[in-house]
Amino acid sequence: MNAHVLLVGLLVLAGLSGCSREAAPAAAAAPAEKRYPMTGEVVSADPARKVLIVQHNEVKGLMPAMTMEFAVSEADVAAFKPGQRIRAEMIPSDQGNWRLEHIWPDDKAAEAAVANQAAALRQDTMIRGGKAYREVGEAIPDFALYDQEGRVVTSGRFRGKQVMLNFIFTRCPVATMCPASTAKMVSLQRLAKAAGIPNLELVSISLDPTYDTPAVLKEYAATHGIDTANFSLLTGPEGAIKDLLTQFGIIAEFDGNLLKHTLSTLLIDENGRIRHRADGSAWEPRDFLEKMRK
Ligand SMILES: [Cu+2]
């Protein structure tokens, strides 16, 4: 723990705050661990034992199609229902308790829509080159990501709404960084409701999309008091997230197990233009509330 605090301290000196991933069940702890991509259909879920029974397709180089039991996280056992198609990574175990991680809804049409928009975003970022960063007054880039229910959400859905936007990741253990940011967003959501601000949406995009699957985001929303009626947690392809970070001027990079990142909070107007931006963690919900149209 001392090493962690020291490391964070050094990163603050370097102008970036660090969020270690060591608190999480990191795959890095067992580098030799084999992972096999699989697809299948959920047969049943047992929340008490944290087990999903899945009828899976053939896993190339490992086993033919069959129905078997997998240990999964609490978030995953809560999110996936019988009959749902999934894709995931299958992790064998000598003890027989095989695991599934990185479980996503398996929907080819949704994947294609998200991939197409990610390709367009890639091209847009490249064409803009050194001018990729979107200033206050400029429009936000178009995107298509998944929300905490695994539904595809496009930027077009937010036209006609005021949007509070930030970037976080669920495993961030540094209280003053992502957890504080989320707490302020929740506080703003409540203040805005009480003030009768119309058509407000809040959006947090994950900086760590490989770990932050829709199910993980759904659990995060539940444990952080987020009312998902107008607060979406988004994740998606790593490439799309990287391009969004570039265009929104946020630095986030893994240095081994450490995710170093900056924080920015934005208010976007009904026409999709950036109205206000606060860099760092010292923003106040009331400042943003005052800038919202009533
Ligand atoms: Cu963080």
Short-list 32, 43, 139, 44, CA closest to 94: 32
Q: What is the pLDDT of residues 68-88, one digit of tens each?
A: 999 999 999 999 999 999 999
In whole angstroms, what is the distance from residue 15 CA to residue 258 CA? 15
In whole angstroms, what is the distance from residue 125 CA to residue 131 CA? 9
Q: What is the pLDDT of residues 180-231, one digit of tens each?
A: 999 999 999 999 999 999 999 999 999 999 999 999 999 999 999 999 999 9
What separation in Å is there between the alpha carbon of 242 and the centre of ligand 1? 16
- Let me know the angle formed at the C-alpha of 162 by 156 and 168, rounded to the nearest 5 degrees: 80
Return the structure tokens found at 207.
């900086």
What separation in Å is there between the alpha carbon of 219 and the centre of ligand 1? 17
Same fold, 30-106 and 109-291: no
Q: What is the pLDDT of residues 99-149, one digit of tens each?
A: 999 999 999 999 999 999 999 999 999 999 999 999 999 999 999 999 999
What separation in Å is there between the alpha carbon of 173 and the centre of ligand 1? 7
Could you tell me where the DSSP H helices lie in the chain?
Answer: 2-13, 74-79, 108-128, 178-194, 214-223, 238-248, 285-291
What separation in Å is there between the alpha carbon of 261 and the centre of ligand 1? 7
What separation in Å is there between the alpha carbon of 24 and the centre of ligand 1? 13
Cα→Cα distances 84→155, 170, 203, 210, Å: 26, 24, 26, 20
Q: Which CATH class is domain 30-106?
A: mainly beta
Q: Report the CATH architecture of 109-291.
A: 3-Layer(aba) Sandwich (3.40)
Short-list 164, 198, 146, CA closest to 283: 164
Other beta carbons within 10 Å of 73: 18
Give the residue extent of every domain in the chain.
30-106, 109-291
What separation in Å is there between the alpha carbon of 244 and the centre of ligand 1? 17
The DSSP secondary structure of 210-263, one letter per residue, reads TT--HHHHHHHHHHTT--TTSEEEEB--HHHHHHHHHHHT--EEEETTEEEE--
In whole angstroms, what is the distance from residue 187 CA to residue 194 CA? 11
What separation in Å is there between the alpha carbon of 25 and the centre of ligand 1? 17
In whole angstroms, what is the distance from residue 81 CA to residue 18 CA? 36
Q: What is the pLDDT of residues 229-275, one digit of tens each?
A: 999 999 999 999 999 999 999 999 988 888 999 999 999 999 999 99
